[in-house]
Each structure stands twice: as structure tokens, then as C-alpha cells.
Amino acid sequence: MGFQYLRDVATLELDIDKCTLCGMCTKVCVHGVLAVDGNGVRILDKDACMECGACAMNCPAEAVTVRAGVGCSWAIFRDWFRRSGDSGEGDIQCDCS
């Protein structure tokens, strides 16, 4: 119920040793997944992560990593069909117009 999607799947990782506490990741996240508290940045709610990649993209220290992509069944269908041709792990990209 509500707007919670599947649990324990998000690929978001935070390397606290690299973090410079700039707080950019907390500003760009649309789901409030990351937050700065007294000791540093923390992953508050990993299951709310939609893997949009904004945090990793805007982290100057490369402390945040995530396998970014679109949570879209059409993009994944296309990837399945494409991959039947070659075995490489390609980017799963939105092809909406």
C-alpha cells in the first residue's frame, strides 16, 4: 500500500570515508533517502531509492554510487530482446519519446 516499491533491491552505496559532507546528495534526492546528521551523511531509507542516480552524479567526492537507470518495464523488455543478440551488459535506458 502507499507508494513503497519492492524492498531490499536498491543498489545505492555510500562510502563514508570519501564523503566530504557537502550535502549535495541530500539536496538532489527526491525521496529524502540520504540525510546529513551530526557525524556525516547517512542512508535513511534505502528502500525508497529509485536509482535515478542524481546523488552519485552530483557527488564531487564519488562517495555515493548507484546503478542508475529507469524503473520502467518497457526499457527492461527492450533490454531483454536486445540482449538475446549479444551477451554484454548494456545500459538500460529510457526510450520514451
Partner 1 sequence: MDEKATWFRGWMETSIGRVARISTHMGLRDTLGGCRVRWGIRRMHYHVPAGLYAVGQPTPESPVLVTANYKLSFDLLRRELSGKDLWLLVLETFGINVWCAAGKGTFGTTELINRVQKVQLDKLVKHRTIILPQLGASGVAAHQVKKATGFRVKYGPIRAHDLPSFLSNGQKASEENRRIHFTIWDRLVLTPMELVGAWKPSLVILLLVFIIGILSGQDFSLQGALSRSVSPALIYLGALLMGSFVTPILLPWIPGRAFSLKGAQIGFLWAFAVSLTLSSTWSLGSMIALFLIAPATAAYFAMNFTGCSTFTSLSGVQKEMRIAVPVIILSIVSGGVALLLGNLL
Rounded to whole angstroms, the Cα distance separating 85 from 92 reads 15
How long a stretch of residues is the chain?
97
Which amino acid, residue 43?
I
Per CB under 8 A, the list member of 44, 52, 65, 78 interacting with partner 1 is 52
Q: How far is the CB of 97 from partner 1 (least distance, A)?
A: 5
Per CB under 8 A, the list member of 39, 73, 84, 87 interacting with partner 1 is 73
Does an H or E element contain 36, and which?
strand 34-37
Interface residues with partner 1 (CB under 8 A) are 1-7, 9-11, 24, 27-32, 48-54, 57-58, 60, 67-77, 92-94, 96-97
